[in-house]
Amino acid sequence: SYVNHLTFPLVTRHKKNHLIWIFKGAMRTDVLLMSPWLAPIMWEGTFNRDILNAQYRQKNFVVGVATFAVKKYVRFIEGFLGSANKFFLSGHRVNFYLFTDHPEKVPSMKLAPEKSLVIIPVQNYSRWQDISMNRMDIISNHIRTHWRYEVDYLYSMDIDVQMFEHIGVEIIDTLVGTISSWQYTKPRDSNSYERRPESRAAIPSGEGDFYYAASFYGGSVSEVYKLTTACFKGVTEDRANGIEAKWHEESHLNKYLLYHKPTRLLSPEYYWDEELIRPRIIRVKRLSSVRKDLKEVRF
């Protein structure tokens, strides 16, 4: 084909009245490329990383990554940071903010010159649900006191993950959610939203567009502030009412993102659950959960 960056033919072929759209051989017809509210969904083979990098570099943004390693989860720090140093926004400025109750156990690692690590001591909580639930509160407080002066974009990530392929500037946007890899396996209505109306995370039956993973979300600092503040408010009100949402803070995140639509979505390439068999539509596994013995790591 004659396609180059200057001349993108939008329609290259007419076939039985169907228009077929091609962007430099990068067409994907096997997956959803845009949400009904016109937010792009990032999949391998739908964008050109060189163009995106060149655009992004002009802005001189700083991206923050908030991650937690409390109690036994300190064992995941090395795998997370080692792989993120290599694959997360490679060549761009990133500050990793690691909240931990064991600062002395953080391995000393040499990071790329444009990457830095900030260790932030944090108390541990007795109930495991509280560790992940309180992430929202800690993030929202830290935005108010620090991040709004330090970074342009902020992403929250689980620590029990490893990256295997580039996660680049295609993730940068105002409000970004990652579609759960479990959504691929199930039709929309059997998914895991909180449906009990007593919970502040409740989504009425029949409603819901995507099911988002709490393991990876982000956006501009001000949007992530609104999100984490709202979600933690929901968590607090549920606590006061003696109810806990089905999937904890993930349920509250899903409620929030239903009514505040993300401006960009990441496909399950960006958080692949290792429990699942990878289907053909997942051409690359950029990031996936580290298999963990739940009994061993949580208690």
Q: Which two tokens stand for residue 246?
A: 């089905």
In the bound state with Mn ion, the residue whose beta carbon lies nearer, of 35 and 289, is 289
**Distance of alpha carbon 18 from alpha carbon 227, whole angstroms:** 40
Q: What SS3 state is found at 100?
A: strand
Instruction: Pick the binder of Mn ion from 44, 160, 194, 238 (CB under 5 A).
Output: 160
CB of 270 to ligand 5GW, least distance (A): 14
Within 8 A by CB and 6+ apart from 237, the residues are: 200
Q: Considering CB under 5 A, how many residues would be counted as binding Mn ion?
A: 2
160 annotated to bind ligand: yes
158 annotated to bind ligand: yes
CB of 188 to Mn ion, least distance (A): 23
Catalytic, 198? Answer no
| Distance set, CA 41 to CA 84, 87, 175, 250, 264 (Å) | 22, 20, 12, 20, 6
Question: Contact 31/25 with Cβ under 8 angstroms?
Answer: no
CB of 202 to ligand 5GW, least distance (A): 20
CB of 132 to ligand 5GW, least distance (A): 4
CB of 78 to ligand 5GW, least distance (A): 14
Question: Contact 216/266 with Cβ under 8 angstroms?
Answer: yes
Name the residues that contact ligand 5GW, by CB under 6 A.
67-73, 128, 131-132, 158-160, 215, 289, 298
Among residues 250, 274, 275, 296, the one annotated as catalytic is: 250
Question: Contact 43/31 with Cβ under 8 angstroms?
Answer: yes
Closest CA to 132 of 244, 255, 223: 244
211 annotated to bind ligand: no
CA 73 to chain CA mean position, Å: 19
203 annotated to bind ligand: no
In the bound state with ligand 5GW, the residue whose beta carbon lies nearer, of 42 and 161, is 161
Is residue 223 part of the contact set for Mn ion (CB under 5 A)? no
Instruction: Pick the binder of Mn ion from 44, 158, 249, 269 (CB under 5 A).
Output: 158
In the bound state with ligand 5GW, the residue whose beta carbon lies nearer, of 240 and 294, is 294
Alpha helices in the chain (DSSP H): 49-57, 77-87, 128-142, 148-150, 181-185, 221-240, 249-259, 294-298
Question: Contact 92/111 with Cβ under 8 angstroms?
Answer: no
Residue 172: which of Mn ion, ligand 5GW, none does it interact with, CB under 5 to 8 A by kind? none
CA 6 to chain CA mean position, Å: 32
68 annotated to bind ligand: yes
What residues are designated binding site for UDP-N-acetyl-alpha-D-galactosamine? 68-70, 73, 158-160
Residue ranges binding Mn ion (CB under 5 A): 158, 160
Which residues are annotated binding-site positions? 68-70, 73, 158-160, 250, 273
Q: Which residues are catalytic?
A: 250
